[in-house]
Amino acid sequence: MARDRNTHAHYVRPIRRILVGLLVFVLLAIFLLWRIDSPRVERFRAALVDRVVPNFEWALVPVTAASGMIEDFRSYQRIYQQNQELRRDLQKLKSWKEAAVQLEQQNAKLLALNSVRLDPKLTSVSGVVLADSGSPFRQSVLLNIGRRDGIMDGWATMDGIGLVGRISGVGKNTARVILLTDSNSRIPVTIQPSGQRALLVGDNSSRPPVEFLEKPEQVRPGDRVVTSGDGGVFPAGLLVGQVAKDTDRRLRVQLTADYERLDFLRVLRSRSSEAITDAGALLIAPQPDLTEPDAANSAEATNE
Amino acid sequence: MSDVSPSSKWAYRFLFVLLVVLIVFVRLIPLQTTPSVWAMPDLLMCIIFAWVLRRPDYVPTLLIAGVVLTLDFLFMRPPGLMAGLVVLGAEFLRARIHTVRELPFSLEWGMVASVITGIMIANRVILIVVMSPRPPLGLSLFQLFVTLAAYPLVVAFSRYGLGIRKFSPGETDALGHRI
């Protein structure tokens, strides 16, 4: 079929094809670069998000607030049921309050006896959730605080009570929080009261499973899960949630933080604790060639 | 007949960018921070393919590449991969405009569906090859089906809402060339 545009298409089409090929090549090169040198590209991503998303803030915040109001309004419809539930809860809480008051007094006494200081360096910065990840495959939120406010990668983020996630990606004005539910999230935790160490592994479900547990039979549903501080990832003792047993008998964690309504988050300023590297000059005289095997032996001994 | 004057062409390109900003905005609102079992359709892909088959001059390749790459970055996807695949898919369809023009809509839908499915499969296969973490399969499949289901709606919206229709045979552009 002869078309008159073919006269110029003779030379336009091959050139166009080459240019498009080049474009696709550049795009795939960006992808490979991201795969090879992820931190650099992720830093670029954080900077880009930092430039773009705050422009939406004037609209994002009111829309979010309005939808929250609609949600609240809907809950009025079943206000009677709620009232009944709240009364029942109140009854339960009264007995708990009694127990808590007693424990608090006991705790205060014990603390005074020991004069314990509970990690005095732990202070926090609060931020507002600007946006979520925009994709059902990634679980993260964007906060309106960033490098300007001294936020650093890896810090723990909490809502009022429970751990929410950790900072990953800091721009000048924004910081991204990878939630515990994201499939890239791995948090070392301790399960109380048995004191077992495990890893909380996000899997894109609302109740992340607990893995690498040494003795699962010692863990019961309802046990408290707190961060263990292993590996210097987080400060120890932040509340994460409660153990729950899934229908497939896997242990999962019911998160304490209210993931339905993440609006204000606290970012904990944690400073890395000082690492003890030498063996102690007073106890052991410096013996440079013997310290290595010694350290290895003692490590084995503690493992056993 | 609708004229293809340069000013209306730029107006529609601007409209395309506006639609993209709207999509970004809606998806970034932090309404749901719990993991969901359903996914939104990839409306951007529908818009791009519907427009490419109707008015290829409204969505030039460079614009497609830029927009999808930006969204890759904003939506925490592996940057560049989806952009490259969508550009390839759009080129595939762009080369078949003259065939599609004479097809009924159901066949066009089938063609676009196979392109979108191909993009999703290629995306997953490449992620497997480079050993990158992949989204859950069920959610991806769900998103694929919703996207395919959304295509006719996007076409209807473009046709009746925005007045973007297929070229009729013999129509010419501003310079008198046949399109």
What confidence tens digit (pLDDT) does each residue in A170-215 have? 988 899 999 998 888 889 999 988 888 999 998 888 889 998 888 8
Whether the pLDDT of residue A298 is over 50: the answer is: no
Q: Do B35 and A59 touch (CB under 8 A)?
A: no
Does position A118 have pLDDT exceeding 60, yes or no?
no
Region for A154 from its dihedrals, namely left if φ exceeds 0, alpha if ψ lies in -120 to 50, beta otherwise: left
A-B contacts (CB, under 8 Å): 137
DSSP3 helix / strand / coil % (chain A, rounded to 5): 40, 20, 35
Would the pLDDT of B119 be above 90?
yes
Average model confidence (pLDDT) for chain A? 80
Cβ-Cβ contacts under 8 Å, B65 against chain A: 23, 27
Stretch (H or E) spanning A124: strand A123-132
Q: Residues A6-24: pLDDT tens digits? A: 555 567 778 888 888 999 9
Distant-in-sequence, close-in-space partners of A163: CB < 8 Å, separation ≥ 6: A156, A157, A180, A187, A227, A234, A238, A239, A240, A255, A256, A257
How far is residue A280 from each of residues A274, A284, A287, measured CA to CA in Å? 15, 6, 11
Rounded CA-CA distance A235/B50 in Å is 52
ipTM above 0.85, yes or no: no
Sign of CA dihedral B9, B14, B20, B26: negative
Stretch (H or E) spanning A298 = helix A291-303
User: A57-76 and B6-28 helices cross at what angle (nearest 10)?
Assistant: 50
Q: Cβ–Cβ of A20/B28 closer than 8 Å?
A: no
A20–B87: do the CB atoms touch at under 8 Å? yes
Task: List CB contacts (< 8 A) between A128 and chain B.
Answer: none
Q: Please determine, for residue A296, whether its predicted confidence score (pLDDT) is greater than 60.
A: no
By the CB < 8 Å criterion, does A228 face chain B? no
Q: Is A37 helix (H, G, I), strand (E, B) or coil?
A: coil
How does pLDDT run across A28-87, given as a tens digit for each residue? 999 998 888 888 888 888 888 888 888 877 777 777 788 778 877 777 777 888 888 889
For residue B116, pLDDT beyond 90: yes
Beta bridge partners of A227: A189
Task: Report angle CA B92, B95, B100 to the nearest 5 degrees.
Answer: 95
**A255 at B interface, C-beta within 8 A:** no
Tokens of A286: 């410096």
